[in-house]
Amino acid sequence: NGAEDENAKPKYTVAFEATFAPFEFRDEKTGEFTGFDIELIKAIGEVEGFDVELKEMGFQGIVAAVKTGNIDIGCSGITIKEDRLKEVDFSIPYYQAGLGIVVRANETRINGVEDLKGKRIAVQIGTTGADFARTIEGATVIDFDQVTDALMEVKNGGADALVNDYPVNLYYVNKSPKDYKMVGGILESEYYGIAVRKGNTELLEKINSGLMKLKENGEYARLYKKWIGV
C-alpha cells in the first residue's frame, strides 16, 4: 500500500547557511529556502526514498552539528578539505567551485590577488575564503556571519574586498553591478561535498547513489542549468 510506504520514509535534517545564492538562500517573494543545494538534496531524497527537514544555521556550526549527530546532513556549498575530512564524511564531489574577489564597482587600486596585501578583507566566518584571506600579507581580515553583510561592508567602505566562493560572488555582483565588480579570476579550485556523520555509511551511500541517479536521469543537469547556468 502506497500510503504506508509514504509514512515509512525516514526524515533527515539538512543544515545550511542561507546567504549563499545560488546554492542556498531565501526566495524574496515566497520567503522559502531555495537554490541549487536545496533542490539537489530534495531530489536525492526523492530518488532514494527519504524526506528532508531544512534547518538554517551559521555556516561555522554546520560541520560540528553533523559531527555530533545533531544534524544528519550538511548541504551548504561545503568545500571538501583535509581538516573537515577528519570531522565528517563527504559524498562524492557534486560541484567544482573556487574562490574569487569582489570589490566596489569604482575600485581602481585592486585588480588581482597581489593587490590585496595590507588591505581590509571581509569574509564569511569559518569558510575557505576566510582561510585564504588570512594568508595574505598584512591584510586585516574581518569576519561576518553572513555573506550579504560582508558584501555590505565592502559597499560602505568598511572593507576593501570580499574573498568568497566565485559562483556566489558572481550571483551577487550580477544582482548589483552598480555597487560591485569581480577582479582576479578564480583563485583556487575547490569541490563541494555533502557531509554526514563519520561512519554513517548507510546515509552516505544513499546520497552518493542519489547523486549518480540524478546525473544519469538528467535532473542534475537541469538543476545546474536552472541555478548556475550553462
Residues of the shown chain interacting with ligand ARG in the complex, contacts defined by CB under 6 A? 16-17, 20, 24, 59, 76-79, 124, 127-128, 147, 165
Whole-number minimum distance, CB 104 to ligand ARG, in Å?
22
Minimal distance, residue 216 CB to ligand ARG, in Å: 26
* Residues 82-98 as b or e (16 or more Cβ within 10 Å = b): eebeeebbbbeebbebb
Assigned C-alpha cell, 125: 566566518
Judged by beta carbon, residue 150 or residue 211, the one nearer ligand ARG is 150
Scanning the structure block, which residue is given the C-alpha cell 595574505?
Answer: 136
- Distance in Å, CB of 101 to ligand ARG, minimum: 15
Q: How many residues does the chain have?
A: 230
CB-nearer residue toward ligand ARG: 81 or 213: 81
Nine-digit cell string for 70:
545533531
Nearest 5°: CA angle at 136, between 20 and 173? 30
- Do residues 158 and 139 lie in contact, with contact meaning Cβ atoms separated by under 8 Å? no
Q: Extract the runs of DSSP E, i.e. beta strands, from 63-118.
A: 73-74, 88-90, 95-104
Smallest separation, CB 131 to ligand ARG (Å): 8
Q: What angle do CA 93, 37, 167 make, to 5 degrees?
A: 75
Nearer to ligand ARG, 19 or 208 (CB): 19
As measured in angstroms, the least distance from the Cβ of 58 to ligand ARG is: 9
Is the CB of 47 or the CB of 125 nearer to ligand ARG?
125
Looking at the Cβ atoms of 96 and 217, the one nearer to ligand ARG is 96
